[in-house]
Structure 1
Amino acid sequence: MKQLKIRAKNLIYKFDVSHTFVKTEKTAMTLNYEDGKYRQKELVRIIRETVVHFALTKEEIRKYKEDDDFGEMQRKAWERISKAHKNSKGDFGELLLFILLSIFFPSEKFVTKVRLRSSTKEQIKGFDCAHFSIEDGEVILWLGEAKFHNRFSNAISGAIDSIKEHCNIDYLRDEISILGSNIELNEEFQEYEKINNILNGGVTLDKIKIRIPVLLTYDCNVIPKHQDIEDALFIEEMTEEFISKYKNIDSQQLSLKPNIEVLFIIVPFESVSEIKEEIQKLEEAMR
């Protein structure tokens, strides 16, 4: 995973957007260009190599490595990806969210959610990821949402609806109960007791610190007009683009409990459909 993270850091960049309005936390990201092309195909290759870490537990990966069975490890990982149509499949967005959280944010997976689905024909129910971080000695649950769409309006409306539904007290109680019974962390992990206690009813829902990272993708017409992320005109136009999206997010009606915060992660592409098509081809070859 170390080399994978290095490659991803050379491809995906946080975009600095200075703004005076702060209603919700937001992070803007872009890919690099190479030979004048936005590096979407390289992102697909990174997604391909990330599937194992996304879909398998650490214990499963360890066992396959001990048996020197890397082919079966890849096959088993891809087997857990949903067989739904690429345009309605949530796993591709969840994979991208997993990559971003693993590289740019202080979080670590504690449950492999794709392992919990009863059938690969179904989408993952509930939040799209289950990570955690330890900040100032306190456990924060990262329960994410991924909206891998080609239209920003669809991504944001879908995200807001999901957040409202999933943050309902009864829904949240059931979700945490399921996650708690499937925790993958080794009991020798330094903060295991804290995390296990939170996930198994030792802390009331009103006191659990929850961070919801929300991935929003869309097709951006600024991207094909440029060839270099360091070009002044690209920076100017993308800054305007991201600010418009920030304002759109802040116009949404979202009221949450004080212990829940939302982090929006905005990633524009030249063509989301092309990315999905390339991943679909990989999936068909790897199963």
Structure 2
Amino acid sequence: MTAQTLDERSCSCGPEEGDLPVALLSASVHDPSLSPSLMALTVDYELKSWRASALATHVVDWALDFALRRSERAMLTPGRATELARRAVKITFGNGNDRGVPGEVLLHAVCRQFFGSDTVINKVWFKTASNDTYKGFDAVHCVHEGDELQLWLGEAKFYKSLTSAIRSVATDLDEHLDQDYLRSEFALIADKIDDDHPHGGELRRLMHPNTSLDEVFDRIVVPVFVAYESSATAAHDHVCAEYREALEAEVRRAWIKFGNAIDSNLPVTVRLFLLPMGSKKALTDALDQELSRWR
């Protein structure tokens, strides 16, 4: 299930079908009628186990699209593929100390796969050292909704505890949508938009200090991605009616908890993406093993 198929996009700025890794995540629960809208993404099971290894491989598969500039992706030829892939993995995961990176990569993947977004900037370029955590918003994308260009400013949390993740993201939303913080972030972002970006001019105009934030807020979508350890996922070992019912009940409870935690008067559109994990440790262990092949 996709929120917007790539063929339905009104602009060619987003990805073509073959540009992205083969899909792994499925939207098992999707309720766009809610506010914030809700989407729960799953990888389900294989041979009686939650698919931690498959998800770890998928995270690494997305490193090229996540880390490379738009212009670099266009230059991805067979002769440079391995070189660019190695570079992308290195600048994405660094020395592995930033444990929130898988959430940021998966947020990027969801925006690209399900909504046909285009990367405005790659946040890895805000790192000053290989073990830095990313600063500011965890994703800066643009999406066409009809004829309107939206600015998607994402937040990602990769936690064991759902409650802790929601508490953290609620704090970040308050801080990152503050007028002074947002103006400072816009100044950094606008300066790094590729000159050949098809919407560079419009995006820079939106971020310019002369543009009222009232206009900007009408165009901002904040996709919030939360990966957490799920009781429903851990309690099952295959897809069945009981699993689907437990999962839907759990993510709808999470949506209520999220809604109660954030400011109901936020001036932007918020979308909630949940990834219920069978085990965070199983995923991080599988990711460490996958990355060892690149070191």
Question: What amino acid maps onto 2:250 in structure 1?
Answer: E
Spell out, residue by residue over 1:169-192, the C-alpha distance to the aligned partner (whole angstroms, 9 max, x if none): 0000111111111112625x2x44
Separation in 2, partners of 1:3, 1:145: 26
- Quote the offset at 1:63 in angstroms: 3.7
The reply to whether residue 149 of structure 1 matches residue 136 of structure 2 is: no
Which among 91, 94, 97 is matched to residue 101 of structure 2?
91
Q: Does 1:160 pair with 2:170?
A: yes
Letter in 1 for 2:173: I
Distance 1:203 1:56, change over 3 A: same
Instruction: Indicate the residue corresponding to 1:112 in structure 2.
Output: 122
Give the corresponding residue for 2:203: 195
Q: Is 1:35 matched with 2:47? A: yes
What does residue 22 of structure 2 align with? 7
Equivalent position of 1:241 in the other structure: 250
Following superposition, the deviation at residue 19 of structure 1 comes to 11
How far 1:159 sits from its partner (Å)? 0.6
Q: Give 1:3 deviation, angstroms.
A: 5.2
TM-score normalised by the chain length of structure 2: 0.85
Matched, 1:51 2:63: yes
Over 3 Å counting, the alpha-carbon distance change for 1:71 and 1:242 in structure 2 is same
In the superposition, relative to structure 1, how do residues 102 and 23 fare at CA in structure 2: closer, same or farther (>3 Å)? closer
Partner of 2:263: 254
Question: Hey, what does 2:89 align to over in structure 1?
Answer: 78
Aligned residues: 278
- Relative to 1, partners in 2 of residues 1:57 and 1:224: Cα closer, same or farther, differing over 3 Å? same
TM-score, with length taken from structure 1? 0.87
Return 5+ residue gaps in structure 2 as ranges.
Answer: 1-14
- Name the residue aligned to 1:135: 145
Give the Cα–Cα distance (whole angstroms) in 1 for the partners of residues 160 and 174 of structure 2. 22
**8 Å contact kept, 2:234–2:277:** no
Contact 1:110 1:185 in 2 (8 A): no
Over the matched positions of the two proteins, sequence identity in percent amounts to 24
SS at match of 1:119: coil
